[in-house]
Structure 1
Amino acid sequence: MDQAVEVMKPILKPYGVEPYFIETFGKVKKVYSNKGTLAVKQLPAKHGVDFIRNVQFLYQRGYHHIVPIYPTLDGRYAVWNDGNLFYIMPWLMNEDKENRFEKHQKLFRELARLHTLSSKEVTINKEERTEHYEQLTSRWEKEQQFLEEYIEECEKTTYMSPFQLHYCMYYGDISQALVFSQRKLNEWYEETKDNDKVRTVITHGKLSTEHFLFDERGTAYFHNFEQSKVASPYHDLLPFLSRTLKSYPKLYDECIDWLVTYFHHFSFRNEEKLLFMSYLAYPSSIIRMVEKYYHDKGSKRNEIRSVKKLQRYYWMLKNTEYVVMRLNEIEEQRKEEQNKQSEEEKEQA
């Protein structure tokens, strides 16, 4: 442990911090020092510039629900030592008394605030949008063609493997998801092909309840902004939902509530909703699994493991389908209410 203290001394010296004792928790060092209990984290050099720039930008915009990053005595937000960057934060106890649902509600509400305060319109090239649409459509069509050809091959087989049998059972749901995704993508392109603006935000980059901490007063803070970047807001939502929905079959009504909370505080434009729904519904995981099985020949295949993975990805597909359909219903209801209200206003006029 004394050795750990000696290693940390040159890192902590620019802060005027003298370490007494150090504990290691994964990638974070818990440092007991003359300036209280601190958290010291190593920062990948490739993320250093974006990390510091994004955090400073959020501070300037008035967003302070980030675990405070302490500056050095000369004002730097990270120090370079032995080829690595390090930054220092207070150590939060993270003793949140709320249940899982309430914590997620807080997370999505705070994420909406983060995106709102960092929101920015940027100009894009219309040709780039068209190129993105055409490339994505081409790739999806090739994947759909592969799935169609493979099911024909399976159905011609006299004795199907367990994997092939399960694939044939799941094919209808996979195909439905593909059609829905492509339709939403087409609607998005038709609505935006003449636009030269797009909305970006600062995304957290690794959204998780593990990166959402609470202090002793119950105030919530994001941390681990190392992969933050300027991007579309769904870059935070989609990976989080993908991890959440990769589980046993379940009606994920809590996911609907989390997203409704998020959209209430950071309203997606119609074109953003269309693209978000298209990406969310697309069954990329199960497609990758089928492609891998198809290309793995002979001893590379493990039938039992492959069937288990295929089943897990199918459960994920069905969980996602439920969320997508409920969001679609909510959106259709919202549009109907808006149309009804417009008609009532016209009659009154």
Structure 2
Amino acid sequence: MNPSQNLPHFSSERALALGRQTLSIEAAAVDALINRINDDFAQAVELILNSHGRVIVSGMGKSGHIARKIAATMASTGTPAYFVHPAEASHGDLGMITRDDVLLALSNSGESEELLRIVPQIKRQGAKLISMTGVATSTLAREADIHLDAGVAQEACPHNLAPTASTTAALALGDALAVALLDARGFSPDDFARSHPGGSLGRRLLTHVRDVMRSGQQVPAVPPETNITDAIIAMSRGGLGLVAITDEQQTILGIFTDGDLRRAFEKRIELQQAAISTIMHSSPRTIGPDRLAVEAVEMMERLRINALLVADTENRLQGALNMHDLFTAKVI
């Protein structure tokens, strides 16, 4: 039996239509914010940049969930921020806010009782207040030092009741604020990596070629006079799909790969007689050990190759790596 038969009001066509309508309404709500990014927005960014404290983000209900996310985004992109529940603020947590802080208060109606209750105390301490509401004439908007208009024409809810488009708009406006602050602070990828040491972001941003490459005896290398057969044997033992051709000082003269071997067979080259120098690729692309591993990925994808030699500034062989090494290190 089809489970949907037990749901008399279910219609797959209506579900699809409402899903598309929801996305359309929320996309329009975010798009409408573009024309509202004005001097108030710039002043909000400047106020936060000039403050000597932190950004305290607060909101009730669904606005509170959005406020938590905005605080987390700011904190991870160079702007010290944390979330304070407005109800808890009235019962002791208000002591966490100092005169050097900026309160970013979210309320779609702008009339949230819990937020309005703490506004006088915030003002008395000398902290600045930025409001983000859907009603520019609301109490919270009027009491704020700076108001950010996050109003929407309608909610995506069919009854125009459940916070949907309004929370999406507030989230997008919060992201815009965080990104503007990030840029103004000169927050770099290295800064981002330091605040995200765990997970794939940390691996992608902190892993260098030297952390992934194979070195020493793991990298097959032969002199240029080696015959092709012996070079192939060295390449097979290395398991990298390549062999480096170097001089006595370990300067890289060329490279020979699995692809070159296939082409040699096609050309019917006498493998036992010819030296590897006759068919190697001279002056191959290399990468430095201090470069980011993601740069090695980009280079290999752009050149459509599966492995790279690692060289120092004097073009001396330091190591090698292939796509499998990068997969194993979870850089890709």
TM-score grouping bracket, smaller chain normalisation: under 0.3
TM-score (norm 1): 0.20
Name which one, 1 or 2, has greater alpha-carbon Rg: 2
Higher relative contact order (CA closer than 8 Å, sequence separation 6+): 1
TM-score (norm 2): 0.20
